[in-house]
Amino acid sequence: MKPEIPNLWIKCPQSNPQANLRLFCLPYAGGGTSIFRLWPRELPSNVEVCAIELPGRENRIKEKPTSNLEILTENLVDVLLQHLDKPFAIFGHSMGSLIAYDLARKLRQRNVNPVYVFLSGRPAPNIPELYPPLHLLPNAEFIEKLTNVYSAIPEVVLQDQELMELFLPTLRADMTLVETYIHSQVEPLDCPIFALGGLEDPEASYDNLVSWRDYTRSSFSIEMFPGGHFYLNENRQALLQFMSQTLKDL
């Protein structure tokens, strides 16, 4: 069943009807469309940035977050099929990279393929998790692990009990989504994959990112950037310069 209001899912920070390519962007755990709000300024004018707004955050904070990746991508396929009147690419970071791959896999089953998929900050789904599962931990331990391992909770949220109570269900749902996704069978895409990572991120080391090579029948390359797991925020300009070079001639 198609979502009734697909625009809830897609937020373009800067509308660009003249663009000849749409870049759909998927966030990391706990993240929202605001991650990508500055991207249109630094990407070529032929690219329209379309951030995906997942339930349970920002403008959809009152909605229940989705904790099952397969259900989420089934909904997203129906949404995106209504917005594919021009070529498109997909970018996902960390949790978003798993969503991006599964979304591209399901679109391929509909004979629709992106021109590129950018999979950032996470190895392929057939690689075991670097850290023990977190999603079933009691709240205090869950928060501590997320803070110490991923630095995933902003300090302003940690210091505000009400914000923390609002934010916690989404974070737990996101970690459940990531840690319960089982897709051990490799289903290659028909489009090029760029695997991206931070040089100081043990989860997305070069050796781990190589695992995505088997997930495409097309070209594959790895690009590493200065920074840790959140290099896309720490070193946004370098990432977007690389993506600009890739997307500008399409």
Cβ-contact 185, 105 below 8 angstroms:
no
Residues of the chain with pLDDT under 70: 1-6, 152, 184
Cβ-contact 118, 196 below 8 angstroms:
yes
The phi and psi torsions of 93 (rounded to 5 degrees) equal -115, 130
N-to-C CA span, the chain: 33
**All structural domains of the chain:** 6-126+184-247 (3.40.50.1820)
Q: What is the pLDDT of residue 4?
A: 40
Q: What is the pLDDT of residues 192-233, one digit of tens each?
A: 999 999 999 999 999 999 999 999 999 999 999 999 999 999
Q: What is the pLDDT of residue 152?
A: 62
Q: What is the pLDDT of residue 1?
A: 37
pTM, entire model: 0.93
Classified as helix, coil or strand, 242 is helix
Cβ-contact 108, 189 below 8 angstroms:
yes
Q: What is the pLDDT of residue 185?
A: 79
In angstroms, the CA 184 to CA 215 distance is: 11
Active site residue 151: no
Q: What is the pLDDT of residue 115?
A: 98
* Side chain identity at residue 122, one-letter code: R
Active-site position among 94, 120, 218, 244: 94
